[in-house]
Amino acid sequence: MPPHDLGAINPFGPIHDPKVRAIIERLHTTRRFPERGGGPRQNHDPEAFADYGFSIHPDQGDLIYLLCRGMGARRVVDFATSVGMSALYFAAAMRDNGGGLVIGSELVAAKVAAARANLTDAGLERYVEIREGDARKTLRDLGGGIDFALIDGWPAPQGPSLAREVIEIVAPQLRVGGYVLNDNAEADFLAFIRDPDNGFISMTLPLKGGTELALKMR
């Protein structure tokens, strides 16, 4: 398999709306990858990658959708939003749960615009509020108990990872019984989520090379 071949979308996934599936398919099949050695781990400026989604895999999205449906989620956090792939799964779950709000966060204005266009094409824009700017500021006040948070961050040049900084902001705002899904297995994020003092239990799922799913217990 070529290094960036992420495989096809599962035709038996839980989202059946053809309009939503079409946008997911479009984002998945047109995703771009930087040249080897030229990605965000080398150049940490998010603006330099305005044309790259770095989106979650549809299998991760299917899991987000299923869990949100099962728990009747109404308020969820999408960090970060990029071009809107993860937001599409969250927003479909909000709509299919009878209503709700996806609070997105994205630093790059061009990506906010792309995400809004993709959500509009899918008919889901009314369920999503994308907060443009640095998530460490925009997610400080989420306005109430959060049911589910995706922590899908960006490499930091030094110091704590963004995933770690954002989970420290979001965790106190997550309700007991709420879920956190993490895409990139940042070591300091995993240390936070696995520290019993922080009130989570978690497991590593074999999706996209290791996806951490955590449940807030207290």
Among 162, 169, 213, 214, indicate the residue that binds ligand SAM (CB under 6 A): 162
Task: Count the Cβ atoms, other than its own, within 10 Å of residue 207.
Answer: 16
Q: Which CB, 159 or 196, lies closer to ligand SAM?
A: 159
In the window 185-204, what residues touch ligand SAM (CB under 6 A)?
none
The CB density around residue 44, as the number of other CB atoms within 10 Å, is 13
| Smallest gap from residue 20 Cβ to ligand SAM (A) | 14
- Give the integer Cα–Cα distance in Å for 25 and 15: 12
Cα→Cα distances 42→6, 31, 49, 156, 184, Å: 22, 20, 12, 10, 16
Measured from the CB atom, is 156 or 199 closer to ligand SAM? 156
User: Tokens for 60?
Assistant: 């991760």
Among 23, 80, 103, 190, binds ligand SAM (CB under 6 A): 80
| Binds ligand SAM by CB under 6 A, chosen from 64, 102, 107, 130 | 107
- CA pair distance 208, 31, nearest whole angstrom: 15
Q: Which range, of 78-86, 93-101, 140-148, 195-203, touches ligand SAM by CB under 6 A?
A: 78-86
**Going residue by residue from 116 to 145, which x/- string records binding to ligand SAM, judged by CB under 6 A?**
------------------xx----------
DSSP 7: -
In this structure, what token pair is assigned to residue 203?
A: 């497991």
- Chain residues binding ligand SAM by CB under 6 A are 46, 53-56, 80-83, 85-86, 105-108, 111, 134-135, 152, 154, 162
